[in-house]
Chain A
Amino acid sequence: GENVEQHPSTLSVQEGDSAVIKCTYSDSASNYFPWYKQELGKRPQLIIDIRSNVGEKKDQRIAVTLNKTAKHFSLHITETQPEDSAVYFCAASISNTGNQFYFGTGTSLTVIP
């Protein structure tokens, strides 16, 4: 099955700086790559996603890039704010296999005021 690796496991940045989280996947058939944010004690919530026919997608301070050849995708958060502090998970999915999502192990982001 699919194997998703995520780095780093923890990340601390100063408020206003940028944060980058990277993921790699193993199955070239994966074609949908969402990112979820999970605040302490809460449920994961989708913050941005990208499909394999797109190389980059941006939503305000958040962007995701995808390199299909290298099988990696990254989350970029600019102008970080304390409320960005959370655990972030990447995931990969193959749409024709029952929509299974394989998650990375998570990155705990701390934004220092």
Chain B
Amino acid sequence: NAGVTQTPKFRVLKTGQSMTLLCAQDMNHEYMYWYRQDPGMGLRLIHYSVGEGTTAKGEVPDGYNVSRLKKQNFLLGLESAAPSQTSVYFCASSSAGAGKLFFGSGTQLSVL
């Protein structure tokens, strides 16, 4: 049982490049989330999904897109990376209702 798996773990981009972060969970959770973590700012919600085929905006959605074509996968895309998107990105999942969040191991993204 792997839990929540994120790929890649590290990535360096140049300004304007695009990339996709992949999150996969094997716990059959309905809800999935993408957070970014910046020093002194805690965890801020980018986008989330309450089920396959659905997505919604969180606190800081600008510059990001997401897709959830399969229940177990949640993809985060950056179409044109900016230095302000340098951060640690965490994917998380939870079962329906106010339940425990299970986090992935994080992706360290640097945009030069």
Chain A: residues with CB nearer than 8 A to chain B? 1, 6, 9, 31-32, 34, 36, 42-46, 49, 51, 89, 91, 93-95, 98-106
Known: A99-B96, A99-B97, A99-B99. A43 touches B42 (CB 8 A): no
Establish whether residues A103 and B42, one from each chain, have CB atoms under 8 Å apart when the complex forms.
yes
Q: Tell whether B45 is near chain A: CB-to-CB under 8 Å.
A: yes
Establish whether residues B90 and A43, one from each chain, have CB atoms under 8 Å apart when the complex forms.
yes
Establish whether residues B42 and A89, one from each chain, have CB atoms under 8 Å apart when the complex forms.
yes
Chain B: residues with CB nearer than 8 A to chain A? 31, 33, 35, 40-45, 48, 50, 56, 58-59, 90, 94, 96-101, 103-106
The B contact surface, by secondary structure, is loop
Establish whether residues A99 and B98, one from each chain, have CB atoms under 8 Å apart when the complex forms.
yes
Assembly CA distance A99 to B94 (angstroms): 8
Assembly CA distance A34 to B99 (angstroms): 9
Establish whether residues B100 and A102, one from each chain, have CB atoms under 8 Å apart when the complex forms.
no
Establish whether residues B31 and A46, one from each chain, have CB atoms under 8 Å apart when the complex forms.
no
Q: Which of A36, A45, A98 contacts B31 (CB 8 A)?
A: A98
- Residues of chain A lying within 8 A (CB to CB) of residue B35: 103
